[in-house]
Amino acid sequence: MVMDENTTVAGRIADSIGERIISGVLQPDAPLRQDHVARQFNSSHVPVREAFRQLEAQHLVVARPRRGVRVAPLDTKAVKEIAEMRAALEVVALRNAAPKLTSAHLARIELALIEGDNAETIEEFEMANRAFHHALVSPCAMPRLLASLDGLQLANSRLVFAMARSAGWRPRSNQDHRLILQALRARNVDQACNLLVRHIQTIERLALPAS
């Protein structure tokens, strides 16, 4: 019972801190002190340590000897790593998902696209963007791959928020998403995969000046 309670509290702490890291409230290299976090969430140190482990597994924090736990960097090296991993893994997932896409799957992809086009805030846009990419690949039914992509999508969300803070954000249509959906409707998987890679590489190019 105690273990279950600690696990639940750890997940709540990890989710809260993770949201602040992704949105940029907690900046790269910001220290996360175990005693401060425990006081903030009115918890013992046990769930805080577990929360830190969860955040480290998501690559949102890093633990360094003599420096403690800090928010993970979001520098040029990190941006390139995120983009290259997404370009490789998301395409594998899409190739495996594409033959299984039904009209219901395509409708979910389109709904996420429309929600992104109608977004009036960066928060609404990023939620829709995450939903679009998840809907693209979820039919692949490869749990380990999807778990890896979920972590990479969180990292990508950090890039989107960082770019918005640096260059501003305004509502706009995502033409890349629309072209990917059109290719999938036409059952042109190769074109959809090529468009997805180009889309991810574009995000990398846009993010680098702000990193």
Number of helices (H) and strands (E), helices first, in the chain?
A: 9, 3
* Contact predicate 22/28, CB 8 Å: no
Q: Count CB neighbours of 77 within 10 A.
A: 10
Residue count of the chain, please give it. Answer: 211
Positions of CATH 1.10.10.10 in the chain: 2-71
> Can you tell me the distance from the alpha carbon of 149 to that of 96, in angstroms, rounded to the nearest whole number?
14
Q: Count CB neighbours of 143 within 10 A.
A: 8
CATH fold of the domain at 76-210: Four Helix Bundle (Hemerythrin (Met), subunit A) (1.20.120)
Positions of CATH 1.20.120.530 in the chain: 76-210
Which parts of the chain have pLDDT scores under 50?
1-3, 210-211
Tell me: domain 2-71, CATH 1.10.10.10, correct? Answer: yes
The pLDDT tens digits of the residues spanning 162-192 come to: 888 877 777 777 899 999 999 999 999 999 9
- Note the pLDDT of residue 6: 59
- Note the pLDDT of residue 147: 92
